[in-house]
């Protein structure tokens, strides 16, 4: 005879009844966290990796889609001929005016870019300065063209060391200036010496040519201020010769017709320009002096890290500017403090 169940202990019938009352939404034992992190740990890691890499793939596809849309946007500039900086998109072998075959880029700046090209009519290499497709740059370049044409007319024999502008034209909304192709600039020459400088004899040859050029620019019929004379804007005509030419008249103006307030690269900036005083042809002579010292020593004469430091370096060598200049200068307070009681 079976022993009776202890009082309070559920019978098998009771257990079955309790199981029947468990809702169908109760968690599957295989999905329990403890099981996933123990028996099924490898399977769990595999699932996590699949989810992670699926998300990463979707994100990469989305970013690529965004890039593609941006590229499509860039192609609409000037019917696809310009990039988003309004520079012409250079293509090797392209012909401008069915005459100038583009070879390779030479340089790039805020104005636009310069490329080497072959002139199939004159059968020679040329340098083409392609101006940005923006009104302010076009206006600036048109002034440069006017000044270059004046200088070239006055220098028909090509003896005053000024770059020759062959012609200019519009190409797909870009003003293009065609120049004779020159060699590398004086900064490149310094770099080739590991900034030890060139001989005094070669420096003299450069000085003679540059003084002749500035004397030519100062003639009454021209009265042109270059406004950005520096080693980078003086090019050798031939890599193996000492003949040079001045280039880049993009910041230039005629005496009495100041156009730009911010002129001259800092190392070669004259005290007049630093102080905000009206300037004339003498600012180019200041730049020339700085350049000649640098060509022989290999280092800039005044290498200020900013305008205040530039003024300090000038004063260390040459002393304070004359008082009458400081009194009329618009930027004196930027560099100097007036001592109480000082007259």
Question: Whole-angstrom Cα distance, residue 129 to residue 94?
Answer: 15
Long-range contacts of 332-339 (CB under 8 A, 24+ apart): 332/275, 334/307, 334/308, 335/274, 335/275, 335/307, 335/308, 335/311
Are the CB atoms for 166 and 178 separated by under 8 Å? yes
Any alpha helices (H) in 9-94, and if so which ranges?
A: 12-20, 33-36, 41-74
Smallest CA-to-CA distance from 219 within 144, 150, 303 is with 150
Torsion of CA 170, 171, 175, 178, to 10 degrees: -90
Name 95's Cβ contacts closer than 8 Å, sequence gap at least 6.
101, 102, 120
> Could you confirm whether 40 is annotated as catalytic?
no
Of 171, 178, 167, residue with least CA distance to 118: 178
Distances (CA, A) of 134 to 76, 169, 340: 15, 16, 50
The torsion angles phi and psi of 72, rounded to 5 degrees, stand at -65, -40
Beta bridge partners of 168: 177
Sheet harboring 95-96: ordered strands across?
A: 95-96, 100-109, 112-119, 124-131, 174-180, 165-171
Non-local CB neighbours of 176 within 8 Å, separated by 6+ positions: 96, 128, 129, 130, 131, 168, 169, 170
**Which of 82, 87, 119, 228 is an active site residue?**
228
- In 133-229, alpha helices (H): 135-154, 186-192, 200-217
Q: Which run of H or E residues covers position 335?
A: helix 332-335
- Could you give the residue numbers annotated as active site? 228
């Amino acid at each position: 005879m079976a022993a009776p169940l202890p009082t309070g202990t559920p019978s098998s019938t009771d257990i079955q009844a309790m199981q029947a009352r468990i809702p169908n939404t109760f968690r599957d034992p295989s999905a329990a966290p403890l099981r996933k992190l123990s028996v099924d740990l490898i399977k769990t890691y595999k699932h996590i990796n699949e989810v992670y890499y699926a998300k990463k793939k979707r994100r990469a596809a989305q970013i690529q889609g965004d890039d593609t849309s941006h590229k499509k946007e860039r192609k609409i500039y000037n019917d696809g001929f310009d990039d988003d900086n309004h520079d012409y998109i250079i293509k090797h072998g392209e012909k401008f005016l069915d005459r100038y075959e583009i070879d390779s880029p030479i340089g790039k700046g805020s104005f636009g870019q310069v490329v080497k090209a072959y002139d199939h009519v004159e059968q020679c290499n040329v340098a083409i300065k392609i101006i940005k497709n923006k009104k302010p740059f076009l206006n600036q370049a048109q002034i440069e063209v006017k000044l270059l044409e004046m200088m070239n007319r006055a220098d028909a024999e090509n003896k005053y060391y000024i770059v020759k502008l062959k012609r200019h034209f519009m190409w797909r909304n870009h003003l293009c200036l065609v120049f004779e192709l020159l060699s590398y600039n004086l900064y490149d020459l310094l770099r080739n010496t590991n900034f030890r400088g060139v001989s005094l004899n070669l420096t003299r040859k450069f000085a003679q040519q540059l003084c002749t050029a500035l004397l030519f620019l100062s003639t009454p019929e021209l009265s042109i201020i270059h406004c950005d004379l520096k080693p980078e804007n003086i090019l050798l005509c031939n890599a193996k010769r000492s003949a040079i030419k001045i280039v880049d008249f993009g910041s230039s103006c005629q005496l009495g017709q100041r156009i730009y307030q911010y002129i001259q690269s800092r190392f070669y900036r004259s005290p007049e320009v630093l102080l905000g005083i009206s300037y004339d042809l003498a600012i180019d002579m200041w730049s020339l002096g700085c350049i000649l010292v640098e060509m022989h020593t290999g280092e800039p004469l005044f290498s200020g890290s900013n305008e205040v430091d530039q003024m300090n370096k000038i004063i260390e060598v040459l002393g304070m500017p004359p008082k009458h200049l400081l009194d009329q200068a618009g930027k004196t307070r930027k560099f100097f403090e007036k001592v109480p009681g000082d007259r």
